């Protein structure tokens, strides 16, 4: 009989925690999961899933406008109902949360709907009833939480990316604070749903860390959609008035809006978790420090997902959780490779990317070749829209190895997923060139870009 109540106690029933719990249980471990909010975590409840549903909703405006060029006549001007979208979203995430629960229960994982606090290397306390549970291993999978910055007077009047999905009324005027992927995605969604969007940020451009040409493309597309950018500017005060929320900006201007969305990033959700009681080390922003096996400095405590602040993406958390369970309970030796992880920014047009951008490649490699293409997609020829597609392939000029691929255009995320396989396998530009095109598609440009557009040597 075990000396512990359970073999594994998981704190957080998001994507990473649920996968780890389910796989560990399949290996024969006794598992308990604690979740203080809703099963499914950030991605399912207040992240990727509802966001993508809202992105789809926002794109219908373009579809209606494009239809006329293809012979369709709409009987009247389409009208958008915010409450119908919110209700439909809620129905879907409730369904998905239920599936997560069913999968855990099917694998005989005990679910506790409570906040859990670590009180020792092998002990946690459930805050709903004070019970203390001993566990051979503790897995921290609490994800991240919005970082509401800067701390200014009236910040309580703003909302974060957690609350924006469930606003009681659609804002006709919205101030988005921040320039990262969450900020630009919501700016894109609300602008296309008919909102007047102003976006303020400390930086001089959106999407710091992405390829420079793609950053410029996203910025220009958002401007075309009506987003009013205020670069190098942040709010200094938010005041509730009869006309709406009055935001004082650092450049001296004032703006009155119906809602302020602060999307200035996310922080690891470790505050009040009690990790210090197990001696777990964290970094300056509160991220749990782990090794390649997601193991902390405390031998019985592991952590996966955004709480470790490695690569903060849902599929990465799932892979880390699976690898942890297979290694600790399945007798395997699995480390997660965090290199060349494909990702997407779901603005409209969307950005799909894998590998190094041009600027990062030039900083790391002696010779960098750039292949690029910009064109009007076939659909735009009849619709008359101003839609454009931009593609870039970044290549090591010495070895011909593809270092990165970046796409701004329709379904770029879908293309990035498949490109991720090629880049992960170490494909060369010659491999791309030897691949037959699929015509007529936008993706065929990726295998027909034969003329180098630039070479950079250090």
* pLDDT value of residue 150: 78
**pLDDT tens per residue, range 303-316:** 999 999 999 999 99
- Virtual torsion, Cα 302, 305, 311, 312, nearest 10 deg: -150
Statement: residue 1 has pLDDT above 70: no
* pLDDT value of residue 321: 98
The residue whose two tokens read 């995320």 is 413
Q: Which CATH number fits domain 6-145+267-329: 3.40.980.10, 3.40.640.10, 3.40.470.10, 3.50.50.60?
A: 3.50.50.60
Q: Which residues contact 296 (CB under 8 A, 6 or more apart)?
A: 280, 281, 288, 289, 290, 302, 303
**pLDDT tens per residue, range 179-195:** 999 999 999 999 999 99
**pLDDT tens per residue, range 315-351:** 999 999 999 999 999 999 999 999 999 999 999 999 9
- The CATH 3.30.390.30 portion of the chain extends over 343-457
**pLDDT tens per residue, range 253-301:** 999 999 999 999 899 999 999 999 999 999 999 999 999 999 999 999 9
- Residue 169 CA to residue 3 CA, distance in Å, equals 54
Size (the chain), residues: 458
Structural contact between residues 194 and 226, judged by C-beta atoms closer than 8 angstroms: no
* pLDDT value of residue 13: 95
* pLDDT value of residue 149: 81
Residue 50 pLDDT grade (very low, low, confident, very high; cuts 50, 70, 90): very high
Residue 232 pLDDT grade (very low, low, confident, very high; cuts 50, 70, 90): very high
* pLDDT value of residue 75: 79
* pLDDT value of residue 285: 93
| Percent of the chain whose predicted confidence (pLDDT) is above 90 | 95
Residue 77 pLDDT grade (very low, low, confident, very high; cuts 50, 70, 90): confident
Statement: residue 148 has pLDDT above 90: no
- The CATH 3.50.50.60 portion of the chain extends over 6-145+267-329, 155-264
- Virtual torsion, Cα 418, 420, 423, 429, nearest 10 deg: 40
CB under 8 A, 24+ apart: contacts of 235-244:
235/150, 235/152, 235/175, 235/177, 235/200, 235/260, 236/152, 237/152, 237/153, 237/154, 238/152, 238/153, 238/154, 238/155, 238/157, 238/158, 239/153, 239/154, 239/157, 240/154, 240/157, 244/173
Structural contact between residues 175 and 233, judged by C-beta atoms closer than 8 angstroms: no
Residue 427 pLDDT grade (very low, low, confident, very high; cuts 50, 70, 90): very high
Residue 115 pLDDT grade (very low, low, confident, very high; cuts 50, 70, 90): very high
* Class of domain 343-457 as given by CATH: alpha beta
User: Catalytic site residue 439?
Assistant: yes
**pLDDT tens per residue, range 353-389:** 999 999 999 999 999 999 999 999 999 999 999 899 9
Catalytic position from the list 269, 410, 439, 456? 439
Domain 155-264 carries which CATH code? 3.50.50.60
Q: Which tokens go with 249?
A: 């900006």
Give strand pairing partners of 6: 135
To the nearest whole number, what is the mean pLDDT of the chain?
A: 96
* pLDDT value of residue 352: 98
Structural contact between residues 251 and 230, judged by C-beta atoms closer than 8 angstroms: yes
């Amino acid at each position: 009989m075990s000396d512990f109540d359970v073999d594994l106690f998981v704190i957080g029933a998001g994507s990473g925690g649920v996968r780890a719990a389910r796989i560990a249980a399949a290996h024969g471990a006794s598992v308990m999961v604690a979740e203080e909010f809703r099963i499914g975590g950030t991605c399912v409840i207040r992240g990727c899933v509802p966001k993508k549903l809202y992105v789809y909703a926002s794109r219908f405006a373009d579809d209606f406008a494009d239809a006329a060029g293809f012979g369709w006549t709409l009987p009247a001007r389409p009208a958008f109902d915010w409450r119908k979208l919110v209700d439909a979203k809620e129905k879907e995430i409730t369904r998905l949360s239920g599936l997560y629960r069913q999968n855990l229960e099917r694998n005989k994982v005990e679910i506790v709907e409570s906040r859990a606090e670590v009180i020792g290397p092998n002990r946690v306390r459930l805050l709903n009833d004070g019970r203390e549970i001993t566990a051979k291993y503790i897995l921290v999978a609490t994800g991240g939480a919005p970082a509401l910055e800067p701390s200014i007077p009236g910040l309580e009047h703003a909302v974060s990316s957690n609350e924006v999905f469930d606003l009681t009324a659609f804002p006709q005027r919205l101030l988005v604070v921040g320039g990262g992927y969450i900020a630009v995605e919501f700016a894109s969604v609300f602008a296309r749903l008919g909102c007047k969007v102003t976006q303020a940020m400390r930086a001089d451009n959106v999407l710091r860390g992405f390829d420079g040409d793609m950053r410029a493309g996203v910025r220009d597309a958002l401007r075309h959609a009506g987003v009013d950018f205020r670069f190098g500017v942040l709010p200094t005060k938010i005041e509730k008035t009869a006309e709406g929320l009055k935001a004082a900006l650092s450049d001296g201007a004032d703006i009155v809006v119906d809602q302020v969305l602060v999307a200035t990033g996310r922080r690891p959700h470790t505050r009040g978790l009690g990790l210090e009681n197990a001696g777990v080390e964290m970094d300056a922003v509160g991220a749990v420090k782990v090794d390649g096996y997601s193991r902390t400095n405390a031998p019985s405590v592991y952590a996966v997902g955004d709480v470790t602040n490695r690569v903060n993406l849902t599929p990465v958390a799932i892979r880390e959780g699976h690898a942890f369970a297979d290694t600790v309970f399945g007798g395997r030796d699995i480390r997660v490779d965090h290199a060349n992880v494909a990702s997407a920014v779901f603005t409209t047009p969307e950005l799909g990317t894998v590998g190094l951008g041009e600027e990062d490649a030039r900083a790391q490699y002696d010779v960098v070749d750039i292949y690029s293409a910009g064109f009007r997609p076939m659909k735009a020829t009849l619709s008359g829209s101003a839609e454009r597609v931009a593609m870039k392939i970044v290549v090591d000029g010495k070895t011909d190895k593809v270092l990165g691929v970046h796409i701004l255009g329709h379904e770029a995320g879908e293309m990035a997923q498949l490109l991720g396989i090629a880049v992960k396998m170490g494909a060369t530009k010659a491999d791309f060139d030897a691949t037959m095109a699929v015509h007529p598609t936008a993706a065929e440009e990726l295998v027909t870009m034969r003329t180098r557009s630039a070479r950079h040597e250090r």
